[in-house]
Amino acid sequence: MEPGYKKDQYVKHLRLLDRKVFFEGAEGGGFWHGENGMVSLPFILKKEDADKNLCPEIRDEAIDYFRKYDIDWWGDAESDGKHVSGHLMSSQVACLNHLFPIRRNETAVLAVINNIKGMPVHFKTVLPAEDDGGFIAFEKVSSRDYLGEGRLSRGSFCTSVDAFIYAVDDNGERWLIPIEWKYTESYDRNDLSTEVVNGHDKGKTRLTRYPRLIDSSDQLASLPDYIGSIYFQEPFYQLMRQTLWAERTCSSMEETLFQAEHFVHIHVCPKGNTALLGKDYTQVSGKCGMEAAWREMIKEQSLYHLVDPKELMMPIQGLNDSLFKYLQTRYWR
């Protein structure tokens, strides 16, 4: 593992694991799919300990929540999508550990979104984003398949957002706030517009599905040719689909879950993850860094905000000090 943010997080988590206290005595050595098959790795919790990857105050409720709404967990080799991943640097788990503890606290949720610099409006309230009354939903989908992906399954096989908030601004207008969460991820260049997997031409399917939606988008810039373009490279492929999801959900007169006039896209990524943020994307963009490359592709700049997770969560200090301490120890220091 090369030096950098990912290695720093790896070393920190192993130290926390070695203390036998922070993860309540959990042990590493769970299995992962390696190049030569299943391998045991120290930063994967053993299957029987995987639940301890979640912050103690949310553990049971988060597991019940995923079960109730039939949401897939992003797994390691020992997870079948129905169990918490034991990967200590899972971005899905990181998203939950940050946001799930405040999902029922309207004051905290409102403080978090209003603290994001450059937001296009001030929000006066948040509305339930889930039918259980929570103000933050996870792996959320809309009521209809607006992108033509063929299914609405939360967490896999379609566009869903890592976290989602439904808010009302000072003028009484409703906003969708999709949140994409990154942790230690970085991506090699992989052209998803030409990808073929086990004889299935996934690239061709994507090219018949998304370019026509991009061309009709008010937020995304059209391109003369989409093959090999920035829209089909990660992380931009995810951002493109989430932008289309939010935009088309807003514009639909048939949407039954989240009728809204506007959306604003929040992208959470640690400042230290320069392997993602600072990567040279000039092969597919006129810009180098991730944010600059993506901003080149969107028209209204105030509808996209890149935020460090610590900065995002600063308003909870004093509202949930135990959570703040947990996040600071595990993720931010």
At 294 the pLDDT is 97
Is residue 80 located within the same domain as residue 111?
Answer: no
Is residue 113 located within the same domain as residue 82?
Answer: no
* 94 located within any domain: no
At 112 the pLDDT is 98
Is residue 145 located within the same domain as residue 72?
Answer: no
Is residue 316 located within the same domain as residue 204?
Answer: yes
pLDDT tens, per residue, the chain with 333 residues: 678 999 999 999 999 999 999 999 999 999 887 777 788 999 999 999 999 999 999 999 999 999 999 999 987 556 578 889 999 999 999 999 999 999 999 999 999 999 999 999 999 999 999 999 999 999 998 888 999 998 887 877 789 899 999 999 999 999 999 999 999 999 988 999 999 998 999 999 999 999 999 999 999 999 999 999 999 999 999 999 999 999 999 999 889 889 999 999 999 999 999 999 999 988 899 888 999 999 999 999 999 999 999 999 999 999 999 999 999 999 998
At 1 the pLDDT is 66
Is residue 142 located within the same domain as residue 7?
Answer: no
Burial (CB count <10 Å: 0-12, 13-18, 19+), residue 35: exposed
Last residue of a domain, one of 30, 54, 89: 89
Task: Domain count for the chain, please give it.
Answer: 2
Query: CB of 143 within 8 A of CB of 54?
Result: no
At 74 the pLDDT is 87
Residue 156 identity: S
* 99 located within any domain: no
* 70 located within any domain: yes
Is residue 55 located within the same domain as residue 131?
Answer: no
pLDDT-above-90 percentage for the chain: 81
Is residue 132 located within the same domain as residue 82?
Answer: no
Is residue 175 located within the same domain as residue 244?
Answer: yes
What would the pLDDT profile of 12-63 be if each residue is shown by its tens digit?
A: 999 999 999 999 999 999 988 777 778 899 999 999 999 999 999 999 999 9
* 96 located within any domain: no
Q: How far is CA 189 from CA 30, 174, 227, 228, 293, in A?
A: 29, 37, 14, 10, 14
* 150 located within any domain: yes
* 13 located within any domain: yes
Q: How far is CA 200 from CA 35, 151, 187, in A?
A: 22, 18, 22
Last residue of a domain, one of 34, 60, 89: 89
* 38 located within any domain: yes
* 263 located within any domain: yes
Is residue 207 located within the same domain as residue 154?
Answer: yes
Query: Which residue range(s) make up the domain with 70?
Result: 1-89
Query: CB of 88 within 8 A of CB of 53?
Result: yes
**Which residues are bridge partners to 38 per DSSP?**
33
Is residue 66 located within the same domain as residue 132?
Answer: no
Last residue of a domain, one of 56, 89, 122: 89
Task: Tally Cβ neighbours within 10 Å of residue 314.
Answer: 13
At 76 the pLDDT is 58
Is residue 301 located within the same domain as residue 152?
Answer: yes
Is residue 126 located within the same domain as residue 261?
Answer: yes
Report the C-alpha gap between 49 and 30 in whole angstroms.
9
